[in-house]
Amino acid sequence: MKFLDQAKIYIRSGDGGAGAVSFLREKFKEFGGPDGGDGGKGGDVIIECAEGLNTLIDYRYQQHYKGKTGMHGMGRNRHGFNGDDAVLKVPVGTQVIDEDEETLIADMTRVGQRIVLIKGGNGGFGNAHFKTATNRAPRHANPGLEGTERWIWLRLKLIADAGLVGLPNAGKSTFLAATSAAKPKIADYPFTTLTPGLGVVSVDARTFVLADIPGLIEGASEGLGLGDRFLSHVERCRTLIHLVDGTQDDMVEAYHVIRGELEAYGAGLEDKPEILCLNKCDALSDEERTEKTKALKKAAGRGSKVHVISGVTGEGVTGILHLVADTIAKANAEEKAASETPEEEGWRP
């Protein structure tokens, strides 16, 4: 299945059905009176968060979604049926954004969440609705209200607890494959990962979701390489795992490149907790490990810790997973405590 995380679609709610103009004509009922029914309501356009979806690929091949028109009213006070709703099923983490690409309309964060994007037009009143003591035979009815239309953007931001960042060939896919059941493409050339991948990691009866995004290069914020578009998939992460390839010549420059791209992207990524890892240590001697660890720690600043790991042999990986799980648990606890803190009551007379 192809991965698609952005789509622009057109939505339109259904028109309301028209009211009917009708009069009762039955034998032995001389003054039957008006009996035109009301029209049915037009269908809404609803977005629903569905389980089992992980891409917006369906919206690449169909861009127009319309609610059904309500049925017109009929004689004998028969009301029209309401039009069927148009339901858009999207994966968890999808954001609905207005055509201006800035205004957030809805954020779908849990399975089963349903939001009405635009409502269908109301049905028109039949002539029976206008009967009064002085107007006993009204000969007019209301037409149904027209539906509304708009263009919207659907953007998918994968919901993961931790995210892997680094230059191409830093070992992110290898790390994901070694710690979860995911099977990303792994090869010895850059940009083997073209779309984000997810894996569920288990450690000490605790589980968390790990996201692997395509590698960044210098200038990604300006569109170079694959750009920084996929960084949106780690915006919701609790922590970032920054992998630096220990076999490359200038690790310090590689570290600064990634930090620079995170800062250029914004959205709070530069402030997220970072777990800095010197990867591919299986290819380094003890002297090289010590030397490169010191250089990387100096580049990261005082108080930073550099973890020496190898995704191939598994050295140091378990410790990283424990650290990630602890960081996620701490962040969840802080968020829960903040949400449960009662708001200060205002002044009362």
List where CATH 3.40.50.300 sits in the chain: 162-339
At 120, the pLDDT band (50, 70, 90 cuts) reads very high
Give the Cα separation of 280 and 295 in Å (integer).
16
Mean residue pLDDT of the chain comes to 86
Percent of the chain predicted with pLDDT > 90: 35
pTM, rounded to two decimals: 0.76
With H, G, I as helix, E, B as strand and everything else as coil, classify residue 86: strand
What contacts 199, CB < 8 A, 6 or more positions away? 176, 177, 179, 180, 181, 182, 209, 210, 212
pLDDT confidence of residue 267: 80
CATH no., domain 162-339? 3.40.50.300
pLDDT confidence of residue 71: 96
Which of 12-26, 198-212, 245-259 has the largest mean confidence? 12-26
CATH no., domain 1-156? 2.70.210.12
The amino acid at residue 14 is G
- pLDDT score of 150 more than 90: yes
CA 196 to chain CA centroid, Å, is: 13
The Cα-based distances of 95 to 7, 47, 110, 153, 158 in angstroms read 11, 10, 12, 8, 10
At 264, the pLDDT band (50, 70, 90 cuts) reads confident
pLDDT digits (tens, 9 = 90+) for 275-304: 999 998 888 888 888 888 888 888 888 667
pLDDT confidence of residue 2: 62
pLDDT digits (tens, 9 = 90+) for 1-23: 467 888 999 999 999 999 999 99
List where CATH 2.70.210.12 sits in the chain: 1-156
Count CB neighbours of 170 within 10 A: 26
